[in-house]
A and B are shown apart, each in its own frame.
Chain A
Amino acid sequence: MNEIWRMIGRRLLLGLLTLFMISLVIFGATELLPGDLARELLGQSATEETLAALREQLGLNDPAPVRYWNWLTAALQGDFGVSMATKRPIADLVGARLGNTLFLALYAAALAVPVSLTLGVLAALWRNSIFDRASNALALTAISFPEFFVAYILVLFLAQSGLFPSMVRITGSTTFGNQLYMSFLPALTLTLVVSAHMMRMTRAAIINLLASPYIEMARLKGMSPLRVVLRHAVPNALAPIINVVALNLAYLITGVVVVEVVFVYPGLGQLMVDAVSNRDIAVVQAIALIFAAAYVLLNLLADVLSTLSNPRLMHQR
C-alpha cells in the first residue's frame, strides 16, 4: 500500500513539474515576438500615448520574470486579469463556460466509452468476420473525417427534420433533461470522432493478448470464447485500454473547440476562438492554461490507473 502512495506522489510531482513547464511555455510564447507586443496588437497607426497606455495595462514595462511571477500567482488564485476586448474580468467570462464545456465533454465520454469498448471487444471476439472488417473500415474513415464534416452531416440528417436542435442555447433556467436533449448533437459528433480510435486500440490490445499461451490454456479447458475474452484477456489489456481512453478524453477537451463553433455552444472553445480573432492575448493564455492543465491531469490519472491495474508496472526500472 505504501508503495502505491509513493508512486502516486511521484507521478503528482512530475505532473506539477509538467504544468510548470507548460505555464512557462504559454507565458513565454508572448516573448517570441521580435518587436513590441503593444505595437503588434494596435497596428502601425497607433499613437505613442495609446502604446504607452497599453504597455502599462499589460504590465509590459516590468522585466519578464517579474511579469511571469505576477501572472502565475494571480492565475493560481483564479484571477486571470481583465479581457482586453470586453474589459470584463476573465474569471467571470471563463467561469460559466468552463462548466458547459465540461458538461459536453463528460456527456460525449459517457456515450463514447461504453460504445467503443463494447465494439472493440466484439471486433476482437469475431475478428476477421464481416462485422470486424466493416467496423474497422468505418473506424478508419471516421478518423480521417474533419469534425465539422461529421457535425454538418448530423445536422443535415437529424436537425433539419426538427428532431434535434442545431443550436444550443443554455440559460440559467435550462433543466438538466433539456440540456441533455439540446446538446445531444454536439455530444454525438464528439462521440463519433473519438470512439473510432478507442475501438481500434481496444481491439488491437485484446488481439495482442489472445496469442499468449495462457489464453490457449483457457481455450483448451473448454471455456466459451466470450468468457475467455472477458475473464482472461480484458483484465490484462486494461493498461493500454485505460491509456487510450484517457488520451481520447484529453482529445475531447480540445476537440470541443470546432464542435462548439458549429453548434454555437456557449463553451470555452468558442470563447477561445473569439479571443484569437480579437487577439485578446490574456484570455487565450488563460484558456490555454486551463485546457493544458486538464490534458496533463487526465494523462496523470491514466498513468496512475494503468499502473494500478498491472502490478508489474510498479517495479519497472
Chain B
Amino acid sequence: MQMLLALIIGLVLFFIMGLASRAVMRTLAPSHLMPTFRDMPLTASFGIAVILIYLVVSLLAPVLAPFGESEVVGGQYLPWASPYHLGTDKLGRDMLTRLVYGARNTVGIAFATTALAFGVGTILGIWAALVGGWLDQTLSRMVDALMSIPALIFSLLLLTIFGTSVLSLILVIAAVDATRVYRLARSVAQGIVVMDYIEAARLRGEGMWRLIWREILPNAMAPLVAEFGLRFCFVFLAISALSFLGLGIKPPTADWGSMVRENATLITFGDVTPLLPAGAIALLTVAVNFVVDWQLHRASGLKE
C-alpha cells in the first residue's frame, strides 16, 4: 500500500516536472535553439529539471540549510517533526541540512573527478592518436593492462596503497576512469587525424598543443560530451559506493554515501530516512542518464 502510494506520487511528480520544465525551456530558449527543445521527450526535460534543481541546491547550500553542516542540534534519531523536518541522524545532526550540504560535497567531488579524468584521458588519447608509433603503442598497451582489472577492485587496491582521503579518492577514481576516456578519445581522434585539414595544419607548422586544442578537440566534442554524462554517472556511483563502504569521503563532511552507511540500522526498524540520501544519488544518475539518452538519440539521427 505504502509502496503503491509512493509510486503514484513519484509518477505524478515526474509528469508535472517534465511538462513544466519543457514549457519553461520552450519560452526561454533562443530562437535558433528552438528545434532542439521542441521535440524533447518528457524524460529528458524531467532530467534537465532535476539537474538544475541539484545545481541550485548545491550552490545555495548555506542559504537553504536550516542548520550548520556538522552542527549537533538535538537528540539522536529524532522523528520527522518541526524544526527537524527529516529528523536527526546518529549523532543528532539535522538530516535535511546534511542532505543539502551533501549535494554540494558529493556532486562537487564527483564532478571534479570526472573533469580531471576527462582532461587527462582526452589529452593523452588525442596525443597518442596524433603522434602514433611507439608512443601510441606504449600508452595503449599500458591502458589495456590497467583495464583488464575490474575498476572497483583496482580502485580498492590503489586506495590501500595511498590511504583513504578525499584527495587520494579523487586521484584514484580519476586515474581509473581516465583509462576508459583515453580509449574513446583515441578512437575518435584517429578518425580525425587522417583528414586533410590536419595535414594542412601540420604543414602550416602548428605545434602539438595547438593541433590538439584548436583543430582536433572541437571536432571530437560531440561524442565526448555524451561520454562525459555517462562517465559522471559511473564516477558518482563509484564514489558513493566507496563512501558507503567507509573508504571514501569521511565524516564530518556531509556526504550521501556515508550518510546511508551511518544510519543504515534505522531501515531494519522500518524507517525510510536512510533511503533519502541513497534516493538522492539514484535520482541524479537517472536524470543524467535520461538527458544523455536523449542526446545520443539526437546525435545518431534515429527517429524510431
Contact = CB atoms under 8 A, between A and B. Distances in A.
Interface of A: 18, 21-22, 24-26, 29-30, 32-33, 37, 40, 128, 137, 140-141, 143-149, 152-153, 155-157, 159-160, 166, 250-251, 253-254, 257-258, 261-262, 272-273, 275-277, 279-281, 284-285, 287-288, 291-292, 295-296
A242 B161 CA distance: 36
Given A144-B233, A144-B286, A156-B272, A281 B161 contact: yes
B227 interface: no
Nearest to B288: A144
B268 A166 contact: yes
B249 to A, nearest CB: 14
B234 to A, nearest CB: 10
Interface of A is mostly: helix
A32 B142 CA distance: 15
Given A140-B289, A292-B153, A25 B164 contact: no
B150 A292 contact: yes
Interface of B: 3, 43, 144-146, 148-154, 156-164, 233, 237, 240-241, 244-247, 257, 260, 264, 267-270, 272, 274-275, 278-279, 281-282, 285-286, 288-290, 293, 304
Contacts, number: 139
Counting from the closest, the 7 A-B pairs by CB-CB distance are: A144-B285, A149-B278, A254-B150, A21-B145, A144-B286, A284-B160, A145-B282
B160 A149 contact: no
Nearest to B256: A146
A276 B159 contact: yes
B247 A288 contact: no
Contacts of B274: 152
A105 to B, nearest CB: 13
B281 A149 contact: yes
A277 to B, nearest CB: 6
Contacts of B162: 33
A234 B219 CA distance: 39
A45 B130 CA distance: 49
Contact of B245 (A18, A251, A257): A257
Contacts of A146: 237, 240-241, 244, 257, 278, 281-282, 285
B164 A277 contact: yes
B286 A276 contact: no
Contacts of A253: 150
